[in-house]
Amino acid sequence: MKFFLDTADVEEVREAVAWGLLDGVTTNPSLVAKTGKTFREVLCDIAEAVPGPVSAEVTATDMAGMLDQAHEYADLASNIVIKIPLIVEGLKTVKKLSEEGIKTNVTLCFSSTQALLAAKAGATYVSPFVGRLDDIGHEGIELIREIRTIFDNYDFGTQILVASARGPIHVRDVAIIGADVVTLPFKVFEMLAKHPLTDSGLEKFLDDWKKVPQDKKPEGGA
């Protein structure tokens, strides 16, 4: 499974890239607004920092406006993916962009039938939001299972990009189902590597190591 970082903070991106485990980045207007920078500045900085795809979300809600923004963003860097909302105008836009060879990420997906339409339109990625469904009493994980089955039934090439994952359990569950990508805030990305038994085990090993007699370095040796 691929790991994307859900952020507009280029320093978080650089840190995650340094781990050697980051495959891409997703952004949205809410995240960019926190940076105090222009959307163009943020996209260019992140696209330069990460070798993988960077999702840039349009703000227009009509096809003409979405296409204008899509072409503008796609021209900024070769790894920009256009993020389109899952509405009818968005699906029409995705179909057009896919015909032009521009990669797309269809966002705000909350049902398997929406995901089916995105795949038929030629989306590169579709982003179902598991955490937001959990928030209103629905099983977000079940949505991923439904989409995986539908896509496999018809051999769609669209990748399932799980969004709104709130913690390691979400990541574990969608990995078991076979999601292609999960996008995470940096704090959740960090949590994946942590376990209290790892910390306590390492502490014990290091304490015990202090009790082991150490070889003396030869005098005058190199």
Q: Does the pLDDT at position 214 exceed 90?
A: no
Average pLDDT of span 104-117: 98
Q: Which of 132-136, 169-173, 174-178, 195-199 has the lowest mean pLDDT?
A: 195-199
Domain borders along the chain are: 2-209
Quick one: which of 177, 58, 160, 162 has its CA closest to 119?
160
Average pLDDT of span 61-89: 98
Q: What angle do CA 135, 136, 139 make, to 5 degrees?
A: 80
* Residue 9 CB partners (closer than 8 Å, separation 6+): 31, 34, 35, 186
* Residue 164 CB partners (closer than 8 Å, separation 6+): 129, 130, 131, 132, 133, 140
Q: Does the pLDDT at position 63 exceed 80?
A: yes
pLDDT in tens, 29-42: 899 999 999 999 99
Q: Report the interhelical angle of 112-121 vs 88-100 (nearest 10°).
A: 30
pLDDT confidence of residue 220: 64
The one catalytic residue in 2, 37, 83, 95 is 83
Average pLDDT of span 64-84: 98
pLDDT confidence of residue 218: 73
CATH of domain 2-209: 3.20.20.70
Average pLDDT of span 44-57: 97
Average pLDDT of span 87-96: 98
Q: What is the DSSP string of 93-116?
A: HHHHHHHHT--EEEEEE-SHHHHH
Q: Please say if 187 is a catalytic residue.
A: no
Average pLDDT of span 186-215: 91
